[in-house]
Structure formats: structure tokens, C-alpha cells
Chain A
Amino acid sequence: MTFIVPIGPQHPALEEPAHFRIEVKGEEIVGVDLRLGYNHKGIEQALSDRSYAHGLYLSARVCGICNSTHSLAFTRAVESVAGIECPDRARYIRVIDAELERIHSHLLWAGIAAHEIGFTTLFMLFWRDRELSLDMRELLFGHRIYASGTYLGGARVDIKEKDIPQLIRTLAKLEKSVKHYIDVCTSDRTIIARCSGVGVLKKKDALELCAVGPTARASGVDFDIRRDDPYAAYDEISFDVIVERDGDVLAKVVVRLREILESIGIIRQAIDAMPKGAIRTKFPENVPENEAVGRTEAPRGELMYYVRSNGTNKPERVRIRTPSYANWPSAKPMLVGGTIAEIPIVVASIDPCYSCTDRVTIVDAETGKFRIMTKEELRRLRR
């Protein structure tokens, strides 16, 4: 006899609201049903009401953690719609911005995963080292999380010569501690007991359900937008894509930690190869009628923006497909077969970003009566 265990929408293990209806036979999970949409913000409809310049700031706020990659993907799509090429120096600044964000996003996830399995010391140490990368973003771009280094047609702020030595010193410190963490995670018996063989995603399932990012790479799928569809300055930087084979939570931890080491290597190459010169070109007010796709490798996977312009300064349609949205179907094969105690760590292993998933449009609707809140009402309410 199976019965349904509801997890969420409010639950200590979920950082944001999602509702899992887990069908359980005794302790073992048999079926998983997912209900999303609790974090709805209607960003796609809002983006088509804003001009491109303002839309850039909104696209950065789709997700609270990976915002540089969102504004980078939006910029890439809009620039290919408008046919604009950004200068070389700006391409390298974008790479540094994106990689610093990948470091702090992976360390944030590693800390939360350590907290899920009850290892508070590792949680604190991970987040202490995350501060190093956040300080660098604050130093270079002015804000810890919303660095917004990209701008339509270039970079918003230039990287000054005098900040480079401090950046290199911090990267060296970060590299040493992340190498130490990889040893700890792969050798500590209690972590191995809680993580290895848990929430396994086989390569066949990962390929079939179109999983993306570290979740897919931990199951052996060799797929990384930075190499397959290079943007910014990734084609001039050599790095290798980290792939693990056994697809369990431990493999996902190792993939993300080793990717941090890759990111540190990428930033070092970007600093050396950064040419001098202008960081921004003029971006036209109105964009001719066209459509384009902009893809980047967000910390959680492949992020896609589809922009269709209609000659005015506002996009006619923007479609955002975020990596967490693609990873949700693969949550089912991971959970089925496990026990209830593993749900928090397995759900956390996809590194889900719910606000990324729920960005589709919805306008306030009274029950029964379909009413659109006019902009005036919204503005009066906000003030």
C-alpha cells in the first residue's frame, strides 16, 4: 500500500517553495510528482514592456545567484539581434565576471549540500571561502552578488590595473583551500556514507531527459556551452570540461569543486590575455526586426534566451529557459528507489533555483474575473 508524503511548499530543506508529492511504499520512494509556480514573477511579459537597456537589469534579477550569466545571455541574444559586436577587452571582462560568479555559486551550493547532510563545519568553511570570491566581485564590479559587469554592447566597468595583484593573491588562496576540500569530500567516511550511491542519475536518463550542467556532467554527459557554443572570450581560452561517471551526489560534489579549479585557471588566463582598448560600443535605440538565440553556461547548466525584436526599442518576445527548469524532469529517476531520508540531499544535488524556473508571465487575476493591473495601479501600490 503506498501513501503520499507531501514535501513543501514550505520545508526546511527547500530554499525556495516547490511542492513534491512523493509516493512512498514504507520507506522507499515509488513515485514523484512536482508542482512548481509558487515563485512566479512574470518576467517574460515584463521584459516585453521594457526597453532593451532596462530589460538588461531585469534579466539580471531572474535568479538571485546566477545573475551575471543571465545578463550575459540576454546581452548575447540582443547583440546578435542588433548585429553589434562588443570590443575585445569587454569580452575578457565578461569572462572574468561569469567565472567569478561560477566560483561563488558552486561554493554556495557546496555549503548548502554540506548543511543538508549535517556537516556544519564544512558548511561554515565553504561559506567562509565563498567570501573571498564575493570580495573580488565587490572590488572589481562594485557589488557582491549583482555585479552586472555586462552592458549592451560591452562592459559596464573597466578592471583597473591596481586591483589585479589582489585578485591573483585571492585566487591562489582559493585554489589551495578548494583542493583541500576535494580531498576531504572524497576521503571522509561520513560524507561518503551519506553521498555515494545516493540519488543516482544514469547517463541514459540524463541524455534522454535533456539534463544540463553539473547534474548531467556528473553522469558522464560531456556537454558544456562554453566549449560547444563559445561566447565572450571562451574560444581564446583553453580549459577542459569536467566529467564524472557515476552520477551520484558525491560525483556532483566533485564535479562542482573541480569546476571551481577550472574557473580559477580561466580567470588567470583571461587576466594575462586581456588586451587594452575601449570597453563599450554604441548600442542603437531601435533594433530592426529580427530573432536570435543567446546561450551561456550558467553555474547550473545551459541557459537560453530567445529574443525577437520588432523594430521598436522594446523586444516583442523574450523566452528564458533556465538550467534548473531543464533539470526538473531528471529529479524523478534520481528520487525513485531512494528512501525518505535522502530527499533533501537529492533535491539539493540538482542545485535547483526555483525563481529561475518560475519566470514565466502571469498577471494578477482576481478569482473568476480576469483583470489586468494597469501600470498606474502597480506604481501606486509600489510607492
Chain B
Amino acid sequence: MPRILPDVLKNLFRKPATVKYPKQRRELPENFRGKPVIDKEKCISCGLCVKICPDNAITLDEKTKKPRIWMGLCMMCGRCAELCPRKVFTMSKEFELATYDKYKAISE
């Protein structure tokens, strides 16, 4: 009698382990590293984030000198959020970043 049989029959009556993803979502833990979000007021344009980003994904805007993140390059390592002296960057919970246009994938 295969040992997996009771497993299989029990599963029939248990609530499935999967959720219907787009409709129901799992809640994410609080230090989850999603897309970095920038709070422009706090920024003092010191340019440290440009140097520490491993992927060179952060560039300063020409005019306003505020950081802008190329989401095509960002690997969400959370280094900018850690080392920014003014805590301008915070890692949000957003991870659905699919887009048609690579140049629109920018986190302002």
C-alpha cells in the first residue's frame, strides 16, 4: 500500500496551499525589500547613493539634483536605504514591476 496514498486522500479535503494570486494576496513581512521609494524633500543631494549602488542604478537629475533609480538595473539589495544619511530611500512592498517600456521603469 503506497505510503503516499493517505497523504493524497487527506489533501483532497484540506484547504489548498495555493491562493488565487491576483485576487487574494499573501501579506509580506515588514523588512521585505521591494521597489525603493524616494522621499525628495529629505534629500540633500550629497550624491552618496550614486557611489554606493552596486549596479550604478541611481543617477542624479540634472536640474533638481534629486536621485532617480533605473528599475531595469536595480536589484533591490537595500544598500541605498541602509547607507543614506537622511533616510531618503525606503524599501516599499511593491514587487510587481513589469512594464512595456524600459525607460518608464524609473522610481522617482
Q: Cβ of B77 and Cβ of A148 under 8 Å apart? A: yes
From A54, A122, A142, B78 is in contact (CB under 8 Å) with A142
- Which A residues are CB-close (under 8 A) to B17? 128, 131
- Which A residues are CB-close (under 8 A) to B29? 138-139, 142
Known interface pairs A131-B17, A382-B73, A383-B73; A188-B32 also in contact (CB < 8 Å): no
Chain A interface residues toward B at CB < 8 A: 50, 53-54, 57-58, 61, 121-122, 125, 128, 131, 138-139, 141-143, 146, 148, 156-157, 180, 183-184, 187-190, 379, 382-383
From A54, A183, A383, B3 is in contact (CB under 8 Å) with A183
Number of contacting residues on B, CB 8 A?
A: 24
Dominant secondary structure at the B interface: loop
- Which B residues are CB-close (under 8 A) to A382? 72-73
From A54, A157, A188, A383, B4 is in contact (CB under 8 Å) with A188
In the complex, how many residue pairs between chain A and chain B have their CB atoms under 8 Å apart? 57
Q: Cβ of B75 and Cβ of A57 under 8 Å apart? A: yes
Dominant secondary structure at the A interface: helix
8 extra A-B contacts, CB within 8 A, seeds A141-B31, A142-B33, A383-B72? A53-B54, A61-B75, A122-B4, A125-B7, A184-B2, A184-B7, A190-B2, A379-B56
Q: Cβ of A138 and Cβ of B32 under 8 Å apart? A: yes
Is B98 in contact with chain A by the CB < 8 A criterion? no
Q: Cβ of B73 and Cβ of A58 under 8 Å apart? A: no
- Which A residues are CB-close (under 8 A) to B3? 180, 183-184, 187-188
Is B8 in contact with chain A by the CB < 8 A criterion? yes
From A157, A183, A383, B31 is in contact (CB under 8 Å) with A157
Interface string of B54-65 (1 = CB under 8 A from A): 101000000000
Closest to A57 in B: B54
- Which A residues are CB-close (under 8 A) to B32? 138, 142-143
Chain B interface residues toward A at CB < 8 A: 2-4, 7-8, 17, 28-29, 31-33, 52, 54, 56, 70, 72-73, 75-79, 82, 91
**C-alpha gap A53/B83 in the complex (Å):** 12
- Which A residues are CB-close (under 8 A) to B8? 121
- Which B residues are CB-close (under 8 A) to A138? 28-29, 32
Q: Smallest CB–CB gap between A188 and chain B, Å? A: 5
Closest to A190 in B: B2
Q: Smallest CB–CB gap between A17 and chain B, Å? A: 23
Closest to B73 in A: A382
Which of the listed residues A50, A58, A143 has the most CB atoms from chain B within 10 Å of its own CB? A143
Q: Smallest CB–CB gap between A347 and chain B, Å? A: 25
Q: Smallest CB–CB gap between B57 and chain A, Å? A: 10
Q: Cβ of A121 and Cβ of B4 under 8 Å apart? A: yes
- Which B residues are CB-close (under 8 A) to A61? 75
- Which A residues are CB-close (under 8 A) to B78? 142, 156
Q: Cβ of A189 and Cβ of B2 under 8 Å apart? A: yes
- Which B residues are CB-close (under 8 A) to A143? 32-33, 76
